[in-house]
């Protein structure tokens, strides 16, 4: 099998996690969600989890070096590298570190997909999720902060990948299955 690296990007609430699970299964990729990995560390009470928890609850980013080390250990055992990235990279520093890791492992970014959803719909979705799942970073104030962190730290990555010709934009509005088909259309 060939290496394949697909990145799902988008603001909090755009539906990255849901789409990442569906696509990973259909394309035989491993879903790598740094948010899920961090939450697992928090609930297991690891050293990393203890360092990350307060930052996550405040809607701040966990430092790049901790995130990159976590991703490296996940990719280390994977040959060929076949991953669906959800929530990573999230800063220019992480994107550069990812380039280095992929080069080391004989892979490169295959495609990046940006899920586009209007802002008012994002807040609405996240508040609904807060009521259903009780994620401790889904309060209205933290949601707004996570959105501003996205604008400042993560949005610049759209141009970074667009300049390489691997960026695709897809509307994230509509039924889950509809959005999955739209993503598959741009990938094939």
Compose the 84-123 pattern: x for residues touching ligand ADP by CB under 6 A, - for all others: ---xx-x---x-----------------------------
Any catalytic annotation for residue 152? no
Under the criterion CB under 6 A, does residue 35 sit at the interface with ligand ADP? yes
Q: How many residues make contact with ligand ADP (CB under 6 A)?
A: 17
Selecting among 27, 51, 72, 129, the annotated active-site residue is 129
CB of 2 to ligand ADP, least distance (A): 25
- Tell me which of 6, 24, 61, 179 binds ligand ADP, using CB under 6 A: 61
Nearer to ligand ADP, 46 or 185 (CB): 46
Binding segment (CB under 6 A) for ligand ADP, from list 30-38, 106-114, 161-169, 174-182 = 30-38
Active site (annotated) includes residue 31? no
Is 16 labeled as catalytic in the residue annotation? yes
Close Cβ partners of 10 (under 8 Å, ≥ 6 residues apart): 16, 114, 115, 116, 117, 172
Q: What is the 3-state secondary structure (H, E, C) of the chain?
A: CCCEEEEEECCCCCCHHHHHHHHHHHHCCEEEEHHHHHHHHHHHCCHHHHHHHHHHHCCCCCCHHHHHHHHHHHHCCCCCCEEEEECCCCCHHHHHHHHHHHHHCCCCCCEEEEEECCHHHHHHHHHHHHHHHCCCCCCHHHHHHHHHHHHHHHCHHHHHHHCCCCEEEEECCCCHHHHHHHHHHHHC
Residue 56 sits in the site that holds ligand ADP (CB under 6 A):
yes
**Span interacting with ligand ADP, options 32-40, 106-114, 156-164, 166-174, rule CB under 6 A:** 32-40
- If we measure between CA atoms, which residue out of 31, 33, 29, 32 comes closest to residue 2? 29
Q: Which is nearer to ligand ADP, 19 or 180 (CB)?
A: 19
Q: Site residues (CB under 6 A) for ligand ADP?
A: 12, 34-35, 38, 55-56, 59-62, 67, 87-88, 90, 94, 137, 146
Tell me which residues are annotated as active site. 16, 90, 129, 135, 146
């Amino acid at each position: 099998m060939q290496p394949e690296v697909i990145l799902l990007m988008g603001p909090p609430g755009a539906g990255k996690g849901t789409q990442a699970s569906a696509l990973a299964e259909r394309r035989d990729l491993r879903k790598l969600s740094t948010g899920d990995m961090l939450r697992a560390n928090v609930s297991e009470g690891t050293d990393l989890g203890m360092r990350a928890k307060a930052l996550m609850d405040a809607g701040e980013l966990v430092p790049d070096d901790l995130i990159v080390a976590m991703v490296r250990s996940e990719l280390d055992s994977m040959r060929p590298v076949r991953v669906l990235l959800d929530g990573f990279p999230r800063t220019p520093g992480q994107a550069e570190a990812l380039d280095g890791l992929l080069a080391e492992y004989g892979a490169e970014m295959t495609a990046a997909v940006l899920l586009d959803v209007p802002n008012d719909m994002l807040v609405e979705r996240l508040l609904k999720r807060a009521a259903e799942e009780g994620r401790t970073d889904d309060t209205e104030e933290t949601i707004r902060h996570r959105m501003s962190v996205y604008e400042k730290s993560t949005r610049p990555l759209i141009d970074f990948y667009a300049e390489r010709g691997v960026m695709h934009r897809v509307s994230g509005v509509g039924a889950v299955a509809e959005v999955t088909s739209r993503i598959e259309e741009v990938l094939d």
